[in-house]
Amino acid sequence: MSNLPRGGARKLGPEPTAKLRRSRAFLLFLLPMPMLILACVNAFGDVVSALGYAAGFALSMIAATLVRKGLDIEFEARRRKIVRRSSAIPYKALGAVVLGAGILIGANLGAEIKLVNSFLLALGALAGVVMVYGTDPSRSAPEMPAIGVSAEEVLEILEEAEAKILAIEAARSRIHNVELKDRLRSIVSGVREIMAIVEEDPRDLRRARKFLKVYLDGAQRVTEGYADTHTQGDTEELDKSFRSVLTTIETVIGEQKQKLLENNLTELDVQIEVLQLQLEKEGV
What SS3 class is residue 8? coil
**For residues 182 and 4, what is the distance between their CA atoms, to the nearest angstrom?**
38
DSSP 51-118: HHHHHHHHHHHHHHHHHHHHHHHHHHHHSSSBPPP--SS-HHHHHHHHHHHHHHHIIIIIS---HHHH
Beta carbons of 271 and 251 less than 8 angstroms apart: yes
Q: How do residues 50-88 score in pLDDT, each as one tens digit?
A: 999 999 999 999 999 999 888 887 776 666 656 555 566
pLDDT at 271: 57
Give the residue-averaged pLDDT of 36-42.
91
**For residues 19 and 268, what is the distance between their CA atoms, to the nearest angstrom?**
42
pLDDT at 5: 39
Amino acid at 134: G
**Closest Cα partner for 21 from 60, 76, 58?**
76
| Global confidence as pTM | 0.53
pLDDT at 12: 39
Q: How do residues 152-193 score in pLDDT, each as one tens digit?
A: 778 888 889 999 999 999 999 998 889 999 999 999 999 999
**For residues 212 and 197, what is the distance between their CA atoms, to the nearest angstrom?**
12
The Cα-based distances of 263 to 101, 198, 249, 255, 266 in angstroms read: 56, 12, 20, 11, 10
Q: What are the boundaries of each domain within the chain?
A: 18-133, 151-281
